[in-house]
Amino acid sequence: MKGNIKKQLVNFYETMYRMRRFEEEIFEFYKKGMMAGLAHLYMGEEAVATGVCAALKEDDYLGSTHRGHGHLVARGADIKKMMAEILGKETGYSKGKGGSMHIMALDKGILGANGIVGAGIPIATGAAYSAKYRGTNQVAISFFGDGASNEGTFHESLNMASAWKLPVIYVIENNLYGISVDTRDVTNVTDLADRAHGYGIPGVVVDGMDVVAVYEVAKEAVARARRGEGPTLLECKTYRWQGHHVGDPANYRSRKNPNEKAEWMKRDPVVILKEKIIKDEIASEAEIIKIENEIEKEIQEAVKFAAESPYPDVSEAFTDIFA
């Protein structure tokens, strides 16, 4: 195995482990009553954001979702600002106004998470149109779930992007459930990526638990977009460890298969990649532990920063208003 590939696998693991630990600490914040509202955790889906974002350049765009913390971590966003934002603190990315479901990081090209299902799809499409209009060779990524693929914004955006050959990659994070609704009960196709054919663009299905597989298909889709050949629809088959949000027991997941969650968790993308790296002697167990310890230090510093940061003054409610 070539040196650059080995380094890339270790980088993938670092990103995925940081993502997992970030979300675990957010869950702790919630259980301690330190955050307002709910959080939609990305645990289990780490390979998707990691693989896709590894194919991007620094100035590319990204449209996120209500389950968007992992997207920001994968793009290298400041985790201190992220945690502070989720706790509603003035040191957060949006001075505490966005919170968990509307977190953004414009310095990383992230145009914002969105609490409205499917609402981020036309935003990313617009960013792609802007890039084409300005001739910048940038691309846009639109992350969304299986439920959003049934929204009108999905179909309208794919039609527009296909007609105008916009440099955008649509990424379905298919974790099987739109809140509590089993996607298999409300769609009549096995693979949601097949919907791409109706718009004359490639539709690709990939194992969303395999970060290398995700990276390879994303890299090709991004290259295609940069060549001016238009959009691609990627469907990443994945699974969320928690319910729709941190307060959801997700009992609905045992309706068809009582062992569904346990079977998916055997395919934990973080654990599997760690085992592969050690088994293939890409890095030793001691080296992996060192990486984990360094990330843990980052995470605990971010936890402390967010917890100790002040809340914004009430006057902040009247700043950054556009209407």
Domains identified in the chain and CATH numbers: 3-309 (3.40.50.970)
Residue 6 pLDDT: 87
**pLDDT beyond 80 at 189:** yes
Q: What is the mean pLDDT of residues 17-27?
A: 98
- Amino acid in position 163: A
Q: What is the mean pLDDT of residues 256-273?
A: 96
Residue 320 pLDDT: 84
Q: What is the mean pLDDT of residues 282-304?
A: 98
Other beta carbons less than 10 A from residue 50's beta carbon: 28
Cβ–Cβ under 8 Å, residues 206 and 235: yes
**pLDDT beyond 70 at 2:** no
Residue 56 pLDDT: 98
Q: Name the residue among 177, 168, 238 with its Cα closest to residue 196.
A: 168
* DSSP character at residue 115: S
Q: Name the residue among 179, 252, 173, 164 with its Cα closest to residue 206.
A: 173
Residue 323 pLDDT: 61
Residue 22 pLDDT: 98
Cβ–Cβ under 8 Å, residues 141 and 52: yes
Residue 37 pLDDT: 87
**pLDDT beyond 60 at 21:** yes
Residue 4 pLDDT: 81
**pLDDT beyond 80 at 292:** yes
28 Cβ contact partners less than 8 Å away, ≥ 6 residues apart: none
User: Residue 310 corresponds to which tokens in the numbers above?
Assistant: 């002040």
Q: What residues does 79 pair with on adjacent strands?
A: none
Tell me the HSE value of 25 on the side-chain side, using a 13 A CA sphere.
Answer: 28
Rounded Cα distance, 50 and 158, in Å: 24
**pLDDT beyond 80 at 3:** no
Q: What is the mean pLDDT of residues 50-59?
A: 98
Q: What is the pLDDT of residues 295-322, one digit of tens each?
A: 999 999 999 999 999 999 999 888 887 7
Rounded Cα distance, 285 and 290, in Å: 9
Question: Residue 216 CA to chain centroid, in angstroms?
Answer: 17
Give me the phi and psi of 134, to 5 degrees please: -85, -10
Q: What is the mean pLDDT of residues 116-145?
A: 97
Q: What is the pLDDT of residues 265-274, one digit of tens each?
A: 999 999 999 9
User: Residue 93 corresponds to which tokens in the numbers above?
Assistant: 């990315």
What percent of the chain shows pLDDT beyond 70? 99
**pLDDT beyond 60 at 283:** yes
Strands 181-182 and 177-178 come out as: antiparallel
Q: In the predicted model, what is the mean pLDDT of the chain?
A: 96
Rounded Cα distance, 323 and 321, in Å: 6
**pLDDT beyond 60 at 240:** yes
Q: What does each C-alpha distance from 247 to 67, 138, 243 come to in angstroms?
A: 14, 38, 7
Cβ–Cβ under 8 Å, residues 160 and 132: no
User: Residue 167 corresponds to which tokens in the numbers above?
Assistant: 């440099």
Residue 1 pLDDT: 55
40 Cβ contact partners less than 8 Å away, ≥ 6 residues apart: 66, 67, 100, 101, 244, 245, 246
Q: What is the mean pLDDT of residues 3-24?
A: 94
Q: Name the residue among 114, 101, 122, 109 with its Cα closest to residue 74.
A: 109
Element (H, E) at 264: helix 260-265
What percent of the chain shows pLDDT beyond 90? 93
